[in-house]
Structure 1
Amino acid sequence: MLKLHLFFIVFIFASLVPLIAHAKRAAAKQPAVQARAAIAVDLGTGRTLYAKHADARLPIASLTKLLTAMVVLDSKHSLLKPARITDADVDRLKWSRSRLPVGSLLLRKTMLHIALMSSENRAAFALSRDYPGGRAGFVRAMNRTAKRLHMNRSRFVDPTGLSPRNVSTARDLTRLARAAYRYPTIREFATSHHKLVLGGDGPLVYRNTDPLVYRDSWHVGLQKTGFTNEAGHCLIVVASVHGRPTLFVILGAPAVHGHFQDAERLRSWLMRR
């Protein structure tokens, strides 16, 4: 009887060894994500496929502009109405560069387009100023929308993300991105390759800040990039993985192209699974 028990113990141990080894190999093959936080989510089901510090509260830079776009569109204010860039739209926090001189007159539709596609800060500032209650009312609407989306660890103080006090988590941002994805206008503007803009000192060609939109194999359905010194390099992108739309959020990549490289690593890892 004792021999039989020993036989079963040895048999069970021998069966577990390859399983343990496989689990160790799988863990070792986790993608080497350099960003401070990241998450990958199946867009359809919401199932988390990968997470790193997904609940860490961090500055999010221009990822903010997805929420800005939602508030603009939810206001039902005509996008065909012209709006002017004024001195109130000049960034005096970071003194970030803008290609739109004060006095530029553009359709609100054009402002929204280049704010999403090229992170044009003056356009985002102008859209927030042209809102019931002004910019303060716009920011209140941003926080109300975030609360409605159950972004419980998020807070917004400006429409551009230039302020480091615009904070969120990778997990909260999946809620924002999934909501933004339901707006056809946001998907169209965020993923377009370029936009000819009239209304400044002359014709300007704006291009997408995300090189992934130019890669046919990615089938990008939504994207937003962001950078400040405090936030690092940030990215939200929806791309195809095994034919399914998959959402990637990258926060705080240290290198100039680190957010794109982390997204590449995560997608390649998921494609091998």
Structure 2
Amino acid sequence: MPKLVRRLFVLPPDLEGAARSWREHGDRTPRAARFASSVILLRDSPTGLETWLGYRPGTSPLGVLAFPGGSLQASDDDAVGWLGPSPQHWAEQMGTADVGLARRHVVGAIRELFEETGILLAGPDLTSTVEATSTGEWMRARVAVAEQEKSFTELLAKRGLSVRTDLLKPLVNWLSPAFAHRRFNTRYFAATLPMNQKPSLLAGKGVWGRWVCVRGVINERETTVLGDEVGQANTAGRHLGELLVPGSEIMLEKMAGANGCIAYLSYKRKAHVYQPELVEEDGRLMLEVEAATTVAGDPQRER
């Protein structure tokens, strides 16, 4: 396994107030972290690996720009058709003894991906997935689930569908910094784009989202190109590190170092909880993370 080394990251502007308050008033009891799931959606392209990034209004623990995801809901516990590895297997892969929580994370990941992009990792059996989820009917279903007017599990049952858990790959576990006002304990997963499905923004809520070339994003990380394209008050003029939480930036680096979807998904990962720590470097508040120095043999950029 790659060696973990100290990495320093820019403190996102949205967290500066909370960070300074934490330092001024001394360490206090961190606010409880909500469980969340996020999915890195992947596809190969002529220019290299691509992933879907979206803008998140407000102050999200996942970052201003982030992979599809959000907090778990009580309905993620409801009965649902299940295809693929068992919840017990998922718990083992995720390094937790809480099988029920592992199951919620998996269902929550598939639900959040559907809400935010319309990509549905579900099908009638292990040999097929739903196709053509870009219709008006599916969009209305997405809105209903997002507004919690209808549960995701109810939607699947009505259509005779089961979640395809075999299409998910467990990645890593990130915990928000202790000083943050809103905190997530997030399990990240990866999935490749299913055949005959294409992502789209949620009607009435989506502001910006698109496929990005991972290497291109990393190569332009010191520019404001992506933030300027999004064009929001809290993105314009900002570098990549000011738009992403450290976990997302590190995962983009790893994707940039991988030779396609298969290589990225086959990379061996050890169950580990990562949490950025607030540190002061030369009078500047920054986030410190212990992260791998290499990805599939490729060097990562040091800070």
| TM-score normalized by the length of structure 2 | 0.28
Q: Could you say which structure has the larger radius of gyration?
A: 1
Larger helix proportion of the pair = 1
| TM-score normalized by the length of structure 1 | 0.30
Larger strand proportion of the pair = 2
Query: Which of 1 and 2 has higher RCO (CA within 8 Å, sep 6+)?
Result: 2
